[in-house]
Amino acid sequence: MKRICFFLLMLGLLSGCAAPAAQSEPAQAQFFSMDTVMSVRVYDGPKEDAVQAARQAVEELDGLLSRTNPDSQLSALNAHAGDGSPVALDGRVSELLTFAKSISQLLPGDFDITIAPVMDAWGFTTDQRQVPDPQTLAGALALVDSDKLNMDETASTARLEAAGMEVDLGAVAKGYAAGQAAAAIRETGATSALLDLGGNVTALGRKADGSAWQVGVKDPQDTAQTLCILSMEDQTASTSGGYERYFEEDGVVYHHIIDPETGYPADSGLLSVTVVSADHTLADALSTALFVAGEEEALDFWRSRTDFELVLCTSDGRVVVTQGLEEGMRPTGEDRGYTYEIVRR
């Protein structure tokens, strides 16, 4: 329900920012895939074909990457954990697994796609959410180790070394899908589109009036409001926050982004992380990883690279924005007590 409210808010915001006279009516589709509500809007070219191409690209990936669909390639990989046999994979699945593994190597202790047994222990996979007993959690955590995900990208195969290991691509699948959908849209000849794949907003090209897209970043403490509006062109803004999926037990809130070192929901002093990048998969992976990492490590990592920018919302009410977004960012949360800081290299 929360996601749907935000989705409606986003549409309101975006249409509110568009120049109605210059902006032609989009072709659009709203659908449920990868366990979330998605929308695709195409504003030029063969609009209907482009929307269908994008939707097909996303749905094909959902069929390959879903952990809950027993017929997916990911389920085949998980089912063969520990039996020694490499599993043949579609090139897209192998590319995504290799990429996700490389993020684990860059940010060890923050990001690990073999987190699945821990997600299960907390009941996030089913709807039986619960605080796991320490023994169950320790057993699940012992299985988390993406060094034991063996990839052979040339042969397009993968193998999980230990029985009980499982991969969960929840942290990266939507970003990868955004990239594939954007490519599918461009192939039809369309150049102007907006995708919202559940927390990953992708802006293709520019609006029909030639201006950049305006995308709202949700206030993690009040998801009907925004923290800021970002100007975007050919980029994805991916947001991760504890508010997206959580449950409450004995007055304590437990959310779905897990610190792989403790097995507990990450508690790094951040309420949300938004990553803006022209690399859609990177944006998604890093929003999850840097939420676990916390402000200091996130900014150190940002300083070590040039391919993404950040909006961090801290639990003490600061909105920390990296330099590259300074010009295109409009603060909208001052009336709710937020203060804004620009971080420079």
Question: Rule CB under 6 A: which residues touch ligand AMP?
Answer: 111-113, 115, 119, 168, 170-171, 199, 240, 244, 256-258, 260, 284, 287-288, 292
Q: Which entry of Mg ion, ligand AMP, none binds 115, CB below 5 to 8 A by partner kind? A: ligand AMP
Judged by beta carbon, residue 104 or residue 287, the one nearer Mg ion is 287
- Smallest distance, Å, CB 225 to ligand AMP? 20
Judged by beta carbon, residue 46 or residue 123, the one nearer ligand AMP is 123
Distance CA(171)–CA(284), nearest Å, equals: 6
> Quick check: 6 and 218 in contact, CB under 8 A?
yes
- Smallest distance, Å, CB 24 to ligand AMP? 32
- Smallest distance, Å, CB 155 to Mg ion? 28
> Quick check: 277 and 309 in contact, CB under 8 A?
yes
Judged by beta carbon, residue 287 or residue 332, the one nearer Mg ion is 287
3-state secondary structure 286-316: HHHHHHHHCHHHHHHHHHCCCCCEEEEEECC
Q: Which entry of Mg ion, ligand AMP, none binds 265, CB below 5 to 8 A by partner kind? A: none
- Which residues form the interface with Mg ion (CB under 5 A)? 171, 284, 287-288
Of 172, 153, 193, nearest in space to 55 by CA: 193
Judged by beta carbon, residue 44 or residue 110, the one nearer ligand AMP is 110
Judged by beta carbon, residue 26 or residue 260, the one nearer ligand AMP is 260
Distance CA(49)–CA(88), nearest Å, equals: 31
Structure letter (DSSP) for residue 258: B
- Smallest distance, Å, CB 113 to ligand AMP? 5
- Smallest distance, Å, CB 172 to Mg ion? 6
Distance CA(338)–CA(345), nearest Å, equals: 23
Q: Which residues of 174-201 are buried (b: 16+ CB within 10 A; e: fewer)?
A: bbbbbbbbbebbbebebbbbbbbbbbbb
Q: Which entry of Mg ion, ligand AMP, none binds 151, CB below 5 to 8 A by partner kind? A: none
Judged by beta carbon, residue 248 or residue 327, the one nearer ligand AMP is 248
Q: Cα 66 vs. chain centroid, distance in angstroms?
A: 15
- Smallest distance, Å, CB 256 to ligand AMP? 4
Helices and strands in the chain, H and E counts: 9, 17
